[in-house]
Amino acid sequence: MVNKKRLTEEFCRLTAIDSVTYREREMADHLKRVFSSMNIELKEDNTGRIYNGNAGNLYGYIEGKGMPVLLSAHMDTVEPGIGKRAVVHNDGRITSSGNTVLGADDAAGLAAITEAVRAVKENNIIHRPIEILLSAAEEVYAKGTRAFDFSSIRSKEAYVLDLSGDIGTAVTEAPSIIFFKVNIRGRAAHAGFSPDMGINSIAAASKAIAQIRQGGIDSLTALNIGTIKGGMATNIVPENCIVEGEIRSLDHNKAMELLNNVKAVFEKCCNEINAVFTFEHNVGIKAYKISKNSSTVINYENACAQLGIRANFISTFGGSDNNNLVERGIEGIVISCGMNNVHSCQEYTSVDDLVKSTEILINIITSVDEKRA
């Protein structure tokens, strides 16, 4: 049922739209027009205003038979993402012109959802009720869906098209990502004439950092201190120092325990020199693990098997909109949709991968279970 030419052309149109994070307006308007041509309304929320962006999340519902299913992809791209142009090569490989990302992350997902819906509608194929969620601001730790009102969602099964790798690959386990910021305040003094009158905030930060294990803590958890800023001049004992880092863990409780340990180390090192500190943290996304016996996993395996594709379920240390879906009680997995070398100017996809991912979606949304209808 997939119209390969139409799918490829739509993918190229999508990648040509400038849609960096918080600037998804043109992409949102295009997608509204595309679905409107199929008599499907995509409603837009106010997420753009919340984050000072220019577009919100888009949501649509298509009546069907059986249990509803949610399909999701995101509208934004990373930088460099202005002036993108897809180049379709003779062997079916699709790349950017080399100066920008291609934007297959996530135009591949958007194109697959669009073509799958078009195909079942124009062929009058019986399908499940379909919910569509196209998010803004996903690339900044899924902020768009973090602000989405999930009370309108009817589905308990979801497929998020936002994964690189071989078609058939799907993520069933992803981490919590927690950001922390330590603001240390000491006391300024002249570094030459009265150094002992000062309290060196950088010294306190350095001592704490030296005591905190970084990198892979274990197979489930990683910690990184990414930035340290402080001081005004070499002849001034630094009064202020700011340290920022993140913790990722497939076990949310372990992540929170590690966060508390980090805070305790900074507190101890500051107290030793009479510096004061504040400690802030933000849970960007929360860890999840979907059972291999879940209906979402089983339905995906079946959809792949119909095409002779072997489903491969993995865990990841990256987050996606699916973290927010699962946190709100929706059994979702993230599926590969034909994006490779993402977040780089070497990003690529292929016509074959776009077709396969679309065919998998068609199999999923047309798998009407009469017993559960």
> What does the pLDDT average to over 201-227?
98
Residue written as tokens 């946190």? Answer: 327
% pLDDT > 90, the chain: 98
Considering the candidates 10, 138, 239, 246, report the single residue annotated as catalytic: 138
Q: How far is CA 88 from CA 17, 346, 355, in A?
A: 16, 14, 14
Comparing C-alpha atoms, which of 327, 315, 181 is closest to residue 246? Answer: 181
Mean pLDDT, the chain, whole residue set: 97
What's the token pair of residue 69? 């299913």
Residue written as tokens 């089983």? Answer: 298
Q: Is 76 an active-site residue?
A: yes
d(CA 302, CA 157): 15
- Domains of the chain in sequence order: 4-174+287-372 (3.40.630.10), 176-285 (3.30.70.360)
Specify the pTM: 0.94
Q: What is the pLDDT of residues 239-267, one digit of tens each?
A: 999 999 999 999 999 999 999 999 999 99
pLDDT at position 369 is 66
Query: DSSP string spanning 18-57?
Result: --BTT--HHHHHHHHHHHHTTT-PPEE-SHHHHTT-S---
d(CA 208, CA 201): 11
d(CA 159, CA 163): 11
> What does the pLDDT average to over 218-240?
97
> What does the pLDDT average to over 106-112?
98
pLDDT beyond 90 at 1: no
pLDDT beyond 50 at 372: no
pLDDT beyond 80 at 199: yes
- Residue 174 is which amino acid? A
Residue written as tokens 């194929």? Answer: 125
pLDDT beyond 90 at 165: yes
pLDDT at position 312 is 98
pLDDT at position 300 is 98
154: Cα separation from own chain's centroid: 22
d(CA 283, CA 239): 29
Considering the candidates 76, 157, 162, 301, report the single residue annotated as catalytic: 76
pLDDT beyond 80 at 145: yes
Other beta carbons within 10 angstroms of residue 236's beta carbon come to: 15
Q: Which helix (H) or strand (E) holds 97?
A: none
pLDDT at position 368 is 78
% pLDDT > 70, the chain: 99
- Residue 56 is which amino acid? G
pLDDT beyond 70 at 9: yes
Q: What is the pLDDT of residues 67-80, one digit of tens each?
A: 999 999 999 999 99
What's the token pair of residue 6? 């139409």
End-to-end Cα spacing for the chain: 24
pLDDT beyond 80 at 373: no
Q: What is the pLDDT of residues 312-371, one digit of tens each?
A: 999 999 999 999 999 999 999 999 999 999 999 999 999 999 999 999 999 999 997 644
Q: Is 106 an active-site residue?
A: no
